[in-house]
A = this chain, B = another copy of it.
Amino acid sequence: MLFAAAPLAATAQTTADSIAIRKLYDEALAHGQSYENLRYLTGQIGGRLSGSAQAEQAVQWGKVVMEKIGLDRVYLQEVMVPHWVRGAKEKAQVKGSKGKGLNLNVCALGGSVGTNGKLKAQVIEVQSLKELAALPADKVKGKIVFFNRPMNPLYVETGRAYGEAGDQRRSGAAEAAKRGAVGALVRSLSLAHDDFPHTGTMRYEDNVTKVPAAALSTNGADELSQLLKADPSLTVELEMSCQQLPETKSYNVVGEIKGSKYPEEIISVGGHLDSWDLGQGAHDDGTGCTQSMEVLRLLKATGLRPERTVRAVLFMNEENGVRGGTKYAELAKAAGEKHLAAMESDGGGFTPRGFSIEAEPATVRKVQAWQPLFRPYGSGEFVAGHSGTDIEPLKEQVKALIGYHCDSQRYFDIHHTAADTFDKVNRRELELGGASMAALIYLISKYGL
């Protein structure tokens, strides 16, 4: 793919750039709208899992917010999405001699089948899929497998610990079923010690029995583990009425400012509009959506018209299918669009740290050369690395995928829980994030990659 030659070296850090970036931050800190937009999305619409009425309200809301910015173009991209619903029943109770009657704090994992009445079975605890695989068949058959490996607390970047512990949640139920188990309980992916169960997507496999899978709060997991030591034969009774409904029509929401010099070169910035149903989808990923729209508003409000086209995308269905991200990439390819870079904000709206860049080493270095412009704003950590689930399908079509990075310490405490609510978001942290994103988008729009 050909790109227009950059008018200046990508490493040039002119006073003009410093001034432009300061303008973006000033506008964000004095008049930023991410926070008030997020207040509406979380408070008036709330949790918005793909296929839900709230998800559709969020689509219409996103379109209206972008239209108000006064963009060159705002449109929807139709996409079919899964429609899973939690159902009213969600309960797990210990039935052993020890802890009898104790209710465990659980929630169905997204995509799980229901229990079709009550499911009562003995529980066997394992730390990993590997440990499960090594168990004799009779130890597993007819039981509920309890995956209890905690996230590793020693990593400073919590996302790394999340990644390493995630296989239990994603594949635990399928692997347990292969060994004859009747269900799976999974320790919540969290570094906090509390009572919130954390949902999240799980996958079944073709030709493997679909057994129900639930997440257990970290306190609940510790408690169950203790009880099992005292009474290895205890049973748990699980009841969940969740179910998968037929796929439903939904949309990505797209808005763009046409580039003044190279309108055919596109830089996208996005977050995902869907969220899990338990909370309000504040940090995951209402913040990424409002920041992405704010990038366009900041460019407009400061008069920093981009030379390349900048597009905000609110992706549908990141949480349980990535249908929106996949559709966006398909449509871009089919239309022969030239995507220069795609940025995603999907790690929360906490205080900015920097960016990850997923690109050829030379491109990574080009972007890293801008670091000094970001250090005064506390967002100067530019690292090579994975950038975002929704933009991943674009990988072959872009020069760089970029992930907005904010501080990761608080994210997994609330991730996919009822506690992912507006009050956990700090206004200035959120607006600083939008400004950081706008600044990098602006530089790419000016210099290319």
Q: Which residues of A contact B (CB under 8 A)?
A: 25-26, 29-30, 153-154, 156, 158, 191-192, 351, 353, 376-378, 381, 407, 409-410, 413, 426-429, 432
Contact = CB atoms under 8 A, between A and B. Distances in A.
B156 A378 contact: yes
5 contacts: A25-B156, A156-B376, A156-B377, A378-B381, A409-B428
A42 B404 CA distance: 35
B378 A153 contact: no
A192 B427 contact: yes
A351 B30 contact: no
A30 to B, nearest CB: 6
The 10 A-B residue pairs with the shortest CB-CB distance in the complex, in nearest-first order: A409-B428, A351-B407, A409-B429, A29-B153, A410-B426, A29-B154, A351-B409, A156-B377, A26-B154, A409-B426
Contacts of A407: 351, 378, 407
Nearest to A158: B428
Contacts of A156: 25, 376-378, 432
Nearest to A429: B409
Nearest to A407: B351
Contacts of A377: 156
A26 to B, nearest CB: 5
Nearest to A26: B154
A344 B48 CA distance: 45
Contacts of A26: 154
A332 to B, nearest CB: 35
A377 B26 CA distance: 29
Looking at A26, A154, A192, A428, the one whose CB has the most chain B CB atoms below 10 A away is A428
Contacts of A426: 409-410, 413
A192 B381 CA distance: 27
A154 B351 contact: no
A426 B29 CA distance: 25
Contacts of A353: 378
A353 B376 CA distance: 12
A426 to B, nearest CB: 5
A153 B26 CA distance: 8
A353 B377 CA distance: 12
A358 to B, nearest CB: 20
Contact of A428 (B30, B191, B429): B191
A430 to B, nearest CB: 9
A78 to B, nearest CB: 39
A364 to B, nearest CB: 17
A158 B378 CA distance: 12
Given A29-B154, A192-B427, A409-B429, 11 more contacts: A25-B154, A29-B153, A156-B376, A156-B378, A156-B432, A351-B409, A353-B378, A378-B407, A409-B426, A409-B428, A410-B426
Contacts of A410: 426, 429
Contacts of A154: 25-26, 29-30
Nearest to A192: B427
A410 B409 CA distance: 14
